[in-house]
Every structure is written in C-alpha cells, then in structure tokens.
Structure 1
C-alpha cells in the first residue's frame, strides 16, 4: 500500500504512478488506501485514478469504503471506471448514496451513474 508521499503530489503523482505501473504493474492493486491517497491529491488525483483504472482496473479490491470514497471524493469519471471494471462487485449501499449526495462538485452525475 502506498501513502500520499509515495504517490507524490501535483503533476508528479501521475508520472510516479505511470513509472510504478511500468516497473511493477503486477504488484499494483487499487485498494481503499490507494484511492484515499489519490482523493487527497487535489492537483492530480483524478489523473492518477484514471491511470490506475485504465491499467489495473481488473485488480481493484472492491470494498464498501472504496466505493464510498469514490462517490464522495471524485467526479463521475472515476465512478464510471469502477463500474466498468468491477460493476458486479460494487454494492450500492445507503452510505454510498449519502457519500454521492455529499459530493459538492459532481454528486448529481455520480448519483445518476449509481442509479443507472
């Protein structure tokens, strides 16, 4: 599991993640902790999540908290990626719906994806 410091900040984060995926792709899993670290990166968290899902979406470890974090902290793009790669594993709970409703930037779009 990687911390925010390991993922980097700003524009560096995407480059660091791309290098990590290039060098050690088999070891990279999208876990709750990785999603939280990306969510805290306001500068490039969306880009890091897109890169992770595009290259390692099949290795996502889906937990209720991971789904909540995506619904709460990311735009609809990240949720769409999760549903694309792991739709059968995603459980839409009351907490997930509340998290999406609390997403001030794109809650409406995230909610529409969840309900679709």
Structure 2
C-alpha cells in the first residue's frame, strides 16, 4: 500500500472505495500518505468516522486525524458510539476524544447503554464512563439494568457500580428483581436489597429464578425464603 501511494506516475483516484478500507484497517503513516496524495482534499463524512471507530489497532490515532481535518460541526450518530463501545480495545479512548472535542455532537443514548450492558468484554471503567456521560434526558431503564444483570462475565460488577453511584434512579420493577435473583451472587443480591429497599413479593416464579441462579449460589434462594 505504501508503494502504491508513493508511486510516481501512477494515477490513483482517491475515492470512497479507497478511503474506507484504509481508515478501517491501517494506521497513521498510511493514512497520512493518503492525505498527502489527495492534497489534503478528503471530504470527511460521518461514515469515515464509523470506519475509524472499527479500526481495532489504530482507531484512536485515525479518529484524532479526522477530527483535526474536519470543518464545522461533527455529528456522531448513536450507531457510531455503539460501534466504539463494542471495540473494547480502544473504545474508551476514542469516546474521550469525541466527547472532548468542541465541535462534536454526540449522545450516549439508551441504545448505547444497552449495547454496553450486554458486552461481556466491556471493562468497568468504560461502563462507568458511559453512564457518567449519558444525556441528561437518558434514564437508566429497566432494560439496561436487566441486560447488566444478565451480562455473563461482568454482571455483579456492573450492578454493583449502578448501586454505588445511581441507586436512587435504578428501577426496581418485578422484571429487574427477577433478573437480579436469577443472575447475581448472594452478596450482590443482598446489596441490591439493602440499598434499594425494594419490597419483594416472593412468588413461585421468583423462587424458581433463584433455584436456577446462574451463579449456582444457593444463598440467593435462602434470602428469599427467610
């Protein structure tokens, strides 16, 4: 690729078909050569940011270049934010770049938080970062809490963080209680009860959820049957 971009007498039109794959797969040196070859005349569209976000190894560097090249307001759709959330390798760094840029318009929506809640590779730091930066109109919904409770690897961590920082706005609906009973370990369930002070009606269905607890923690059922 370097030889092609540096080739003299070779006419390579700089089209979307070339820009997209380079942004998606290569690092700063190759992309910079592409910019030089185009004389800096690359129109930065939203889809290019999406390609950069999906660049697993070099997404942060490419995003930084794109931000420097952009003119005017930059609108980042929730699909792009969700893509960054799914790229746990450098997703937080990319989101910090975007959120810190004065001309970027970006929202952490319910859809983004749901994507995060079910991502078993997402770290606790990024989970907290997203919740801290969600739009003021974005509540922590029943679906978000349920998905966090069902997260195969991070369920107890994610729910504990919600309880520690956002206990007053966590929904405690029957569906949430069932998800907590079915998926969390005893200590997290007890913390959920203590902090939310939710009154639980122990039904046959709820007892069954405790009996099939994904952590195989019989302590959850013991709490319900006190």
Band the TM-score falls in, shorter-chain normalisation: 0.7 to 0.9
- Residue 9 of structure 1 contacts residue 41 of structure 1 at CA under 8 Å; is this kept in 2? yes
Unaligned runs of 5+ in 1: none
1:93 corresponds in structure 2 to: 203
TM-score normalized by the length of structure 2:
0.44
1:6 counterpart = 2:116: yes
Tell me the matched-pair count. 115
1:108 counterpart = 2:218: yes
What RMSD over aligned residues (CA atoms) do the two structures have, in Å?
Answer: 2.5
Distance 1:25-1:79 versus aligned 2 partners, 3 A rule? farther
TM-score normalized by the length of structure 1:
0.77
Q: Which has the higher helix share?
A: 1
Q: Which has the higher contact order (CA 8 A, sep 6+)?
A: 1
Unaligned runs of 5+ in 2: 1-109
- Residue 116 of structure 2 contacts residue 127 of structure 2 at CA under 8 Å; is this kept in 1? no
Regions of 4+ moved over 6 Å: none
2:184 corresponds in structure 1 to: 74
2:146 corresponds in structure 1 to: 36
